[in-house]
Structure 1
Amino acid sequence: MQQDIQVTIVGSSNVDITALMARLPGPGETVLADSYQLSPGGKGANQALAAQLAGAATEFIGAVGQDSHSEVALGQLDEEGVKLDRVARTIEPTGVAIIQVDSGAENSIAVVSGANSTVTGEAVKAAGAIEGILVLQGEIPASGIKAAMDAATDRIVLNLAPVIELERDYLLKANPLVVNEHEAALILAQLDGSESISTEAEPVIAQKLMDHGLASLVITLGANGCLVAEQGSEIQQLPAVKVKAVDTTGAGDAFTGAVAARLAQGEDLAEAAVFAGRFAALTVQAHGAQASYPRSLENL
């Protein structure tokens, strides 16, 4: 019997084509890669897998094409028990992310949306009720994000990556908003109605975002951990777990999915972020996104 859903992710699913190389190419430059991998990805699917592996019964709502890439895109979600009944099969091809990773674990990513572009407001409304904590990202149309928020019955975790235009009322539905330091500055500019991007320190940006009325906020800082802010409390900086990173692809998604899972299990935001930091730290020690996610919580 299907367990009650604790986390629902509405979002993107891709196939990642990852080239491993000594250094990333500059503009107009060709660099020989050492190898490449074909693997499942997409921020929505990554977060769904992370939430499931972090202990929450999870559903993924999205879209893939009617092509061979669709089986790769959904394979690990299916294997780990994520509910996939409401993943649409469209005439658009499955989304593809083209990823370059250098020897220092830095990456560059280009995304072809494909079927993800069909996860519109109309499609999300047609999918029906949303159970549990809702998790969203910026790789589907804004109309799909807003329709999912309108249908939510629990708290909403918004990872607005990439940063897309979203009305103030919808941004303020996030509880928490989970972003990195660059995304935080872009969203602050949106809320301020400013064309300039703040270069202030992350705690200052965090406070300004909270002053706009966010219920809660997490700003991830890579090797420097994360900032956690909630209305009525001081901003906390939580340290990162120190590890040797070989590939950071999908680490932010692992963090977001794990945060949602732990919130669904009753932890407060700081506790959930501490767990998610440990979860994400394990993922950067192996190549790939979903393949690097821990299949056991024994070491967490």
Structure 2
Amino acid sequence: MASSTLSHIVVVGSSNVDITAFVDRLPTPGETIAGGRLARDLGGKGANQAVAAAKLGGQVRMVGAVGADADGEWMRSEMVDAGVDVTDLLIVDAPTGNALIVVDAAAENQIAVCPGANDQVTVDGVAFAKDEAVLMQLEIALSVVEEVVAKAPGFIAVNAAPAQTLPERLLKRVDLFIVNETERELMPELADAALVAVTYGSEGAALYSHGKEIARAQGVSVDAVNTVGAGDSFCAALVLALQTGHSPADSLAAACAVGAAAVSHLASQPPFEHLSHYLPS
């Protein structure tokens, strides 16, 4: 039975400042595209997921690292304003991470990430409670992900992006992997995982248990302007919905609706309604 109170979530991951150029089309190798519009926004898969989970109504704390610079101060301030506990968001002697992004008129993108402080993310001294779900990504060192998997006693979800080979101990312990269809093809070992959510862009998403489809949700048709934060918002919504006790089908539908709301906004950390707004009625 679903609960009216949303889960506690610990997000362990990256925090970046997104420097985005919006252009008519993506440049080909060696080509310069003129006439763009530049934007600076907060991003990073970890920060995006933490902020989305908090805006959706979850109780969230962020484990990560930012620099002792203006961008790091901005990141911490905005997370606090969104309702995220930043006690474990370290300030380190390295620049806050950056992502250089190009987005075209069809909302397709190219991204180059400069990790900076994210290379110093650690969970030394960080405790995890059994009633806290943990959500991670692969923009931080795999060794940190493995350490969390070894010590966290509760539900663990990993957004396995960027794609890379996953060790057997992660495959056995992680409760939920979240990938897009390309990442799934690049990581065939996920076929044996307990639970894998796969996103298919505008076509929606499906949930697989040991390779067998157990739920599917259709995509929500919207006018997309920026797809950069859509997957992160999907991850936050899916973990919140599942952990609150909603069915796999309803949880997927809500996550797809949240992802659609995200692509309708230019920022990587857009505003959201409470999660209940996106659940099937």
Query: One fold, TM greater than 0.5?
Result: yes
The separation in 1 between residues aligned to 2:159 and 2:219, in whole angstroms, is: 19
Measured on the aligned residues, the alpha-carbon RMSD in Å equals 2.0
1:102 and 2:104 aligned: yes
3-state SS of 1:16 partner = strand
Counterpart-to-counterpart distance in 2, 1:126 and 1:51: 24
Please report how far the alpha carbon of residue 79 of structure 1 lies from its aligned counterpart in structure 2 after TM superposition.
0.5
Residue 161 in structure 1 maps to residue 138 in structure 2: no
Aligned length: 273
The answer to whether the 8 A contact 1:47-1:257 is kept is yes
Match of 1:66 in 2: 68
Q: Distance in 2 between matches of 1:90 and 1:102?
A: 34
1:132-151 matched pairs, under 5 angstroms? 132-151=132-151
1:244 partner SS:
coil
**SS of residue matched to 1:262:** helix
Deviations 1:154-209 (A, max 9, x none): 11111011123431221332221100011101111xx3xxxxxxxxxxxxxxxxx4
Measure the CA separation in 1 of the matches of 2:146 and 2:35.
40
- Structure with a larger share of its residues in strand: 2
Residue aligning to 1:196: none
For 2:124, the equivalent position in structure 1 comes to 125
Task: Report the CA distance between 1:72 and its aligned residue.
Answer: 2.7
| Contact residue 219 and residue 227 of structure 1 kept, 8 A | yes
Partner of 2:37: 35
What displacement does 1:297 show?
A: 5.1
Question: What is the rounded CA distance, in whole Å, between the counterparts of 2:110 and 2:211 in structure 1?
Answer: 38
Report deviation, 1:277.
0.8
Give yes or no for the alignment of 1:274 onto 2:253.
yes
The offset of 1:233, in angstroms, is 6.3
Match of 1:77 among 76, 79, 82: 79
Is the partner of 2:105 in helix, strand or coil?
coil
- Per-residue CA deviation, residues 44-82 of structure 1 (Å, 9 max, x unaligned), is 010011111222101110000001111232333210111
Whether the 8 Å CA contact 2:26–2:103 is kept in 1: the answer is: yes
Q: Share of identical aligned residues, percent? A: 36
Deviation at 1:147, TM superposition (A): 0.8
Give a deviation string over 1:251-292, Cα, whole Å, max 9, x none. 0000001111112322233322111111111111110200x2
Aligned letter for 1:155? F
Alpha carbons of 1:110 and 1:48: their partners in 2 closer, same or farther (altered >3 Å)? same
Alpha-carbon offset, residue 103 of structure 1: 0.6
Compared CA separation, residues 299 and 268, structure 1 to 2 (3 A): closer
Contact 1:125 1:148 (C-alpha < 8 Å) held by counterparts: no
Structure 2: gaps of 5 or more residues: none
For 1:284, give the aligned amino acid. V
After TM superposition, give the deviation of residue 299 of structure 1 in Å.
4.6
- Supply the distance in 2 between the matched residues of 1:161 and 1:169 (Cα, whole angstroms): 18
For structure 1, the 5+ residue unaligned runs are 192-208
SS in 2 for 1:62: strand
Structure 1 letter corresponding to 2:271: Y
Do residues 152 (structure 1) and 152 (structure 2) align? yes
Q: Is the CA contact (8 Å cut-off) linking 1:10 and 1:134 kept in structure 2?
A: yes
